[in-house]
A and B are shown apart, each in its own frame.
Chain A
């Protein structure tokens, strides 16, 4: 393909995006658009799967049957989100095996939030309320993303995430109306999850390397800082309703901006966790690697059995024909 031809295709592609026409798997797309999407969708898929670990940590200790059932159902949903997203990534010409390999070798990232530990039972509520809550801010925007399969996966996922968020909040509300010990657990969980939740939106707009192009391609439609501000504005009143103190002494309603002002995010901590030095990075990857290694014989057996069946069926059909 010569340069003018390529230029032509790119222009047509951008025109489609500008006209809000969804890009579908068989459509022509710039190589960089494809790569960006694979990176983003697979990172999202890995986050769903790794996110099962800190929550799964409490399944066997959930304090009531009702809470155990809610948590099981939530984690099952997250696994389902992982599946849709892997499928969406596969439409871009990459296999699930390759994607999983990228996770295990550290080539692909997942949301850093899951490198924090779930220490007390209130963490389960805090994860639902704050982590799913922050994810929703991002994902509601992504239901209108330019790539068709990703946008459609998001519509379904968003509905479930908002359900998770409500359940998480309701868990904390119940505890915050309980004993002093329970209230302490809630505040402790909130103190630990607040800042990492704000970091979930990624680096500030000035530092973000991928943002401008992603906005132009309408993969993203809002900047990291815009989404973070919307999250803070929505969450602070909810925290107050729970009787919680936000662990930020600079947090203040700004009448002029009509937004909350909040203190500086510790970006050193953010980058350190991204680079693998968070409290649980190694544990999370080790758990995924262990499940993968210990499951190898199972996956091999399933493949071998499917092959045997296919052969037996073919033999049966050929004797029938003869």
Chain B
């Protein structure tokens, strides 16, 4: 892999994380447990897709094949999406939505905090710009983790089920892929090993306050960063790509 290819993949991976999670949150718009939550989650979706958009624009520039942000976002094959498995997991119920958001937001915050120091000035700028919004995503999702974990017996149980189910996808967040390694060597990407301890510390802190326990079976699932996805991504793409695939080469 050339440096240029690695950089493109690195930007795409980051963009895909944001887009796919934003897409998942969009499914819920208008169907939340209360109006304030509808507004809150839609706001997070807006932030994420907004960040994804800046990243796709930059990726298109690096790729330099005359493609635009939408061709990158909507017209790749399934195995060309490099998002982590966590973000494509479905909205089983509100507990899953919140656990997924919390696990991702903690990572995303640490990721952007480090990426601000990238020697790629574009990526550093995008990271810096996104960080304030991601700080709000952590606050929002932590508060719900705690409220639901330490709320009623029912909510505690549901929250624990969601955590048990989704925990296996969290290790992928801080596991270095080949692309991550190449980018680290170039001084562009971040050292995920460095944020692992911080990630676990923040998650444990919130989980403890939420009276929730972290599964200890050590089971992990990975592959998204290499384009190996769960069954869910194909369905997400079917819907997301539908207009672009059915009516190609049109302006919207």
Contact = CB atoms under 8 A, between A and B. Distances in A.
Given A60-B26, A67-B252, A299 B49 contact: no
A177 B19 CA distance: 28
Interface residues of A, number: 49
A134 interface: no
A148 interface: no
Interface in A28-50: 49
Interface string A111-146: 000000000010000000000000000000000000
A233 B83 CA distance: 50
Contact of A291 (B33, B56, B74): B33
Max chain A CB contacts within 10 Å: which of B52, B146, B239, B251? B251
Contacts of A65: 19, 49, 52-53, 56, 69-70, 73
Interface stretch (B150-158, B178-186, B215-223): B150-158
Interface stretch (B5-13, B187-195, B200-208, B242-250): B242-250
A72 B26 contact: yes
Contacts of A178: 250-251
Contact of B151 (A75, A80, A302): A302
Contact of B33 (A66, A73, A179, A299): A299
Interface in A170-210: 171, 174-175, 177-179, 181-182
A104 interface: no
A304 B152 contact: yes
Q: Interface extent on B, as a size class? A: 35 or more
Interface in A285-302: 287, 290-291, 294-302
A264 to B, nearest CB: 34
A107 interface: no
Contact of B239 (A61, A73, A287, A294): A61
A76 interface: yes
B42 A72 contact: yes
B30 interface: yes
A61 B243 contact: yes
B70 A64 contact: yes
A86 B38 CA distance: 15
Given A63-B247, A72-B49, A79 B239 contact: no
Contacts of A278: none
A282 interface: no
Report whether over half of chain A's contact residues are helix, strand or loop; otherwise say mixed.
helix
B35 A299 contact: no
Interface stretch (A19-27, A51-59, A222-230, A250-258): A51-59
B234 to A, nearest CB: 14
Nearest to A62: B243
Nearest to B236: A60
A294 B154 CA distance: 13
A175 B243 CA distance: 13
B45 A72 contact: yes
B93 interface: yes
A297 B42 CA distance: 21
Nearest to A58: B243
Nearest to B39: A79
B147 A301 contact: yes
B154 A69 contact: no
Interface string B6-46: 00000000000001000100110111111111110011011
Contacts of B151: 300-302, 304-305
Contact of B148 (A86, A291, A298): A298
B240 interface: yes
Question: Most chain-B Cβ atoms within 10 A of its Cβ — which of A61, A67, A68, A182?
Answer: A68
Contacts of B90: none
A82 interface: yes
B174 interface: no
A298 B37 contact: yes
A304 B159 CA distance: 15
A83 interface: yes
Given A65-B56, A76-B43, A294-B33, A60 B23 contact: yes
Contacts of A61: 239-240, 242-243
19 contacts: A52-B30, A59-B27, A60-B27, A61-B239, A65-B19, A65-B70, A69-B50, A69-B53, A72-B45, A177-B251, A178-B250, A178-B251, A182-B247, A182-B250, A287-B30, A295-B94, A296-B33, A297-B154, A300-B152
Given A52-B29, A65-B69, 9 more contacts: A60-B239, A62-B243, A66-B252, A69-B50, A83-B36, A181-B250, A297-B152, A298-B155, A304-B151
Interface of A: 49, 52-53, 55-56, 59-69, 72-73, 75-76, 79-80, 82-83, 86, 121, 171, 174-175, 177-179, 181-182, 287, 290-291, 294-302, 304-305, 308
Shortest Cβ-Cβ A-B pairs, 5 listed: A295-B33, A301-B151, A301-B155, A63-B243, A52-B30
